[in-house]
Every structure is written in structure tokens, then in C-alpha cells.
Amino acid sequence: MPYGQWWRRHRRAFWQHFRPDAVLGYQQAQCQIARRFLRALLQDPSELVEHIQYTALGSLMKVIYDIDVVGETDFKTYSSVLRSVQEGVGEVFQPGSSLIEYFPVLRWLPSFLPGGSYVRRASKWRSSAYHLREEPFVRAQKTFQSVSSVAFLHRLLKRVAASASESAALVSEETEIAENVAAVSLSGTLPVTYSLLQAFFLAMSQHPDVVKKAQEELDSVVGNNRLPDFGDQDKLVYLTAIVKETLRWHVVVPFGVPHCTTRDDELRGYYIPANTVLLPNIWACLHDPEAYEDPEDFRPERFIRDGKLDPSVRDPSAFAFGFGRRRVVCPGRHFAEAALFINIASVLHVFDIGPPLDGAGKPIKIQYKMTNGFLSYASTSESYVGMANSPRYDRYPEDCRCSIVPRSAQAERLIREAQ
């Protein structure tokens, strides 16, 4: 979509429902999904990656469409569609991955002829993108007038209904904007939450001292008779620092999203002509040794001074979620940060996390090693096996196994009784 009025209308609709005060309305749903995540981990911690995927997908489907992803059929259907869409995005982002880049006429080649494999794959990706855009939207359309919901699509649809008296063209445009924004919200925010949560578990399995400090803070602030919620966030300084360090240590989009200059510009003596494609090196910004001492180390303490968050330390959120005009970054930033906080706080409050164990009960040392791609997230689940060597948008730790056990009988009781 080119930058212009049509793009701005989409951006405005997105921002209105994902700005900081709007995200507050999604906290109850995020808490409920986080508690469901705890129960899944308690039942079968060996399926960590799938539980994370389920949690990330479930919270977004609820907040966007008011759809509860509670059955295996829904989960597998949406996961498969999203996987296909992400595969297509990865192919597009991979320079030189297709001969069509060099010979555009090949796009008209019949798919059954030799060399038509890209056309066949593109047809599959197009079908998946259409399904992702249409199916949940139609489900939400059927209920938005009869159900009281915080889902932002319901509010967009009510705005569409309110414009019905103006013109059919406006209704059609507003409906298309609502449909597009909902689909982009899902496909854009899901991989970020999914990636960061997996990186968190990997980091905790390697840093038992961080787990212990966070649990001491949680015990002091929350106690052992309830689970943490968003009302505790201001007092959970060390845990908030863990969120920041996760964003810094594991850069989800190392080179950001490509931008294009709209006019000639100059930066520190470098002439940048109009229509230049720019790739911001976000990874370098968040691993700059001048800003972060020993940047390869996972060290939440770097963000704390005198028991409070240190405002003089470069905030990873200013880089991790991209760049834009007037410092406007990814509109889903606040939702992703909230999801990261409530899941990290909930997990550390009731679980001990450590390295995985071998058959003899001895710890297995897991290296933080990434596959190639533009977007980072761990993937050891069946959903993504076999895609690691294909051109793709995502990049992830090759192994994020860990041991996850309840801290106590009381912690297990909290998990089972959580609503």
C-alpha cells in the first residue's frame, strides 16, 4: 500500500485502538489468556513452543475479533494459514529469491509449466492471505451487534454502521479498512509476541540468578495467595527490567522494516537521494557497547539505578518496534509490551525455569544460536519444522528447550484455581 491518504486512514484506525489508553481495555483478556497459558504449561511443559503460539494467537483473536481459540481445530486452522502467509512474506523479503524479480514476465507463466513453481506458491500464499482476512472477519460481523465486547473490530464495525446513512461508497471503504486493519493487526503483532516469549524462556533457562531475583520481587509485591496483574506493574521494577532486556537482547526484526525516502536528504555528511530504500540496523542499536556494557549478556540490572528504572539508559522500545515519521513506531507496540509483561510476571511467579535435563538428569547446555531470516523467533514445534532452510521472514533460536516446574504446591494451586 503506497503512502498517502488511504494508508493514513488505515494507520489512524489502527492507532485509535492500540494507543496506550486503548490497550488498557484489553488487560482483562490478556490476563485470562496468560492464566490459560499457565495451566497449559502445568499440564505439559514439554510443548512450550506450541503453548506460546497458542497464547499469542489466542490473545490477539480475542482482542481483535472476540473469537475464543479454545479448540484444537481453530488453533491448527489459523496457525496453518498464518504460517503460509509468513512464508510468503519471507519469500518476498528474501532478495533474489525468485527469477520473477529479474524477469517479471514469468509471473504470467502457467503454473503447470517447468519454472512455474513460484506461481503455484504465490497462489497458495494469496489464498492464505485471503482466508486470514476474510474468515475471522465474517465470524466477527455476525456477532458485533448482539455481543458486548472490547474487541476493537466490533468498535470499528459499529463506526461503519454509523456511517451507513452517509453513502454506500463510504460504508464500503470503512468496511474494507476495518477488515484490513484487523488482519494486519493479527499477522503483524503475533510473530513479535511469539518470538519474544520464546526468547524469554531461553534467557531464563540460562540465567537462574535472574529467575531468583524476579521471584523475590514478585513474592514481596504480590505475595503467594494470588497471581500478578497489571496493577502490580509499577512496583515490579526488576521484572519490568527483564521485559526491557528481553526486547534488547533478542531483536525480533534485526534490520527493521524497509523504508523509502520521500525526498533528498542529508545525514552527517551523507547524501541520501529521494526513493532510497533504507534498512535500519536495529540489532546494532540495541547491541551498541557504548550504550550497553557487555551487550551479549542478558543483564536486566543495566536498566536499574537506586532501585528505580534508569531513564538515562537507552530504552529498547524506542528501537525494537521500528521507526517512522515523527518517531511514530509500530502501533502494536503497547499491546506487545503488555502481553510480554503479564506473561513473564505470571510465569515467574509460579514456575521455576532452568536448563533442560538429559536422561541422567544432568543439565543440557543450550546455546543462543539463530537461524537466518528477517524476523526472530524460536521454533521447535511441529508447526514450523522443515521451514528453517527455506527463504523466510522469521529468524529464531534453533533450540529453546528448558525445564519448567511449579515452585511449590501453593503455586500449583494458584494455577489450577486461576480464572
Say how far apart CA 74 and CA 68 lie, in whole Å: 9
Q: Are strands 308-309 and 375-376 parallel, antiparallel or unpaired?
A: unpaired
User: Is the separation of the CB atoms in 175 and 235 below 8 Å?
Assistant: no
CA distance 366 to 345: 23
Closest CA to 178 of 388, 345, 14: 14
Rounded alpha-carbon distances, angstroms, from residue 286 to 131, 195, 204, 252, 313: 36, 17, 19, 11, 11
CA distance 238 to 289: 22
Rounded to an integer, what is the distance from CA 202 to the centroid of its chain? 16
β-bridge mates for residue 278, sequence order: 259
Distance CA 373, CA 296 (A): 19
Looking at residue 374, the DSSP 8-state letter turns out to be S
Q: How many residues does the chain have?
A: 419
For helices 5-18 and 333-350, give the axis angle rounded to 10 degrees. 30
User: Is 330 annotated as a binding-site member?
Assistant: yes
Residue 404 — φ and ψ, nearest 5°? -135, 115
Q: How far apart are CA 203 and CA 416, in angstroms?
A: 26
The DSSP 8-state label assigned to residue 234 in this structure reads: G
User: CB atoms < 10 A from the CB of 108, how many?
Assistant: 8
Residues making up the annotated binding site are 330
Task: Provide the annotated binding site for heme.
Answer: 330
